[in-house]
Amino acid sequence: MINMLPKAVYVHIPFCKTKCSYCGFYSKPPNQYDTQKVLNAEITELKKSSFDKPINTLYIGGGSPASIGSKALCGFLSEILNLTGKADEFTVEINPADADEKLLKELFALGVNRISIGVQSFIDNELTFLGRACSANQAQKTIEAAKTIGFKNIGIDLIFAIPGSDLQTWRQTLTKAIQSNVQHISAYSLTYEKNTPLQKIKSAGKLKTVNEELDRQMYETAIATLADAGFGHYEISNFAKPGFECKHSLTYWKNDFYLGIGPAACSYIERWRIENINDIEEYITQKDTAAKKIKISLSEKASQTAVLGLRLIKGINLAEYKQKTGLDIFELFRNSLEKNLKLDLLQLKNDRLSLTKIALPIADSILCDFSQPD
DSSP state of 208: -
DSSP, collapsed to helix, strand or coil, labels residue 12 as strand
Secondary element (H or E) of residue 352 = strand 352-355
Contact 121, 186 (CB under 8 A): no
pLDDT for 1:
40
Per-residue pLDDT at 67 exceeds 50: yes
Q: Which of 130-144, 147-161, 185-199, 275-289 has the lowest mean pLDDT?
A: 185-199
Q: Is residue 131 very low, low, confident or very high in pLDDT (cuts 50, 70, 90)?
A: confident
Percent of the chain with pLDDT over 90: 87
Mean pLDDT estimate for the chain: 94
Q: What are phi and psi of 142, to 5 degrees?
A: -65, -45
Tens-digit pLDDT profile for residues 335-364 = 999 999 999 999 999 999 999 999 999 999
Q: What mean pLDDT comes out for the span 257-279?
A: 96
**CATH tag for 8-252 (out of 3.40.30.10, 3.20.20.70, 2.40.128.50, 3.40.50.10300):** 3.20.20.70
Counting other chains too, the contacts that 290-296 makes at CB distance below 8 Å and 24 or more residues apart are: 295/271, 296/271, 296/272
Q: Is the pLDDT of residue 205 over 90?
A: no
pLDDT per residue as tens digits for the range 309-334: 999 999 999 999 999 999 999 999 99
Tell me the angle at which helices 298-309 and 318-325 cross, rounded to the nearest 10 degrees: 150
Residue spans of the domains in the chain: they are 8-252, 316-374
**Based on the number of CB atoms within 10 Å of its own CB, is 313 exposed (0-12), middle (13-18) or buried (19 or more)?**
middle
pLDDT band of 254, cuts 50, 70, 90: very high
Distance from first CA to last CA of the chain, Å, rounded?
30
